[in-house]
Amino acid sequence: MLRGFYTAASGMFAEQRRTEMLTNNLANMNTPGYKEDQAAIRAFPEMLLQRIGGQNQFTGSREVGSLNTGVYMQEILPRFIQGDLRQTDRNMDLALTDRSDQPVFFTVENNDQIKYTRNGSFTLDSDGLLTTSEGFPVLDEAGNRIQLNSEEFTVSDRGIILENGNEVARLGIAITDNPEALIKEGSGLFRTENNEPLMNANIDTYAISQGFIEGANVDPSKAMTEMLTAYRAFEANQKVLQAYDKSMEKAVNEIGRVNG
């Protein structure tokens, strides 16, 4: 009986976490470069029940059957699928397009550490440094900050920044063959597990569009459907838990009663 409580409760916890994840995805539908999260839900190991007092008279077996002990959310992983490009005609907006199966990222600096982002909504700070909208300096292919004189610059599809026809820098575009190993942080940033830098991307693996921004890859219809499914699963586990609670109440108040 008590195992039923734990099994139903684990299902409720897993669906609650899944709902929170889906809510966060929907809240970031309009965040440039946002990569939606997806959950990996696993079951706890099953237990094989056997009879203690002999074999079943019909089957001749001592085995009763397996018992599931609940589920849990093993991990949350970003889904690195290309988002749609939206034209903004803003000179500071840059959008990355993947040209291979391996995703690429802009390289930025945060607290003296190298981080990665798909959010190409850039700006210039008071010192003329190219930064993200959150103020993180954007780095070139050599890992240096990019100094510009004004917002009147052009960027080629290969990431070369030109001012007055002169090459100033090439954007640092990183690539990874194992995106699942990246750790998602706030403000649209990713990092490697040990803060080891990713390798520079080959120019054939990406393209950059100036005056465009990459939208979030969240499908609102799919996310809403999954959220409703999570709600229904939560309610089903809740009803199971309530049924166990009523059974325990009856066992305590009626079956365990001693008549005088």
Q: Residue 105's beta-bridge partner residues?
A: 174
Residue with tokens 């920044």: 161
- Give tens-digit pLDDT for 152-191: 899 999 999 999 989 999 999 999 999 989 999 888 999 9
pLDDT value, residue 253: 76
Average model confidence (pLDDT) for the chain? 87
* pLDDT interval class at 70 (50, 70, 90): confident
| Residue at 44: amino acid letter | F
Q: Residue 110's beta-bridge partner residues?
A: 113
What mean pLDDT is predicted for residues 64-79? 77
pLDDT value, residue 61: 59
User: What are the CB-based long-range contacts (under 8 Å, 24+) for 163-169?
Assistant: 169/140, 169/141, 169/144
pTM listed for this prediction: 0.79
Q: In angstroms, how far is the first alpha carbon of the chain from the final one?
A: 28
Residue 4 has pLDDT above 90, yes or no: no
Residue 181 or 6, more confident: 181
Residue 260 has pLDDT above 70, yes or no: no
* Angstrom distance (rounded) from CA 230 to CA 226: 6
Residue 256 or 181, more confident: 181
Tokens of 255: 């079956």
Task: Output the CA–CA distances (angstroms, integers) from residue 244 to 8, 11, 16, 66, in the order listed.
Answer: 9, 14, 20, 19
Q: Which of 89, 73, 124, 82 is nearest to 104 (CA)?
A: 82
84, 86, 92, 97 alpha-carbon torsion, rounded to 10°: 30
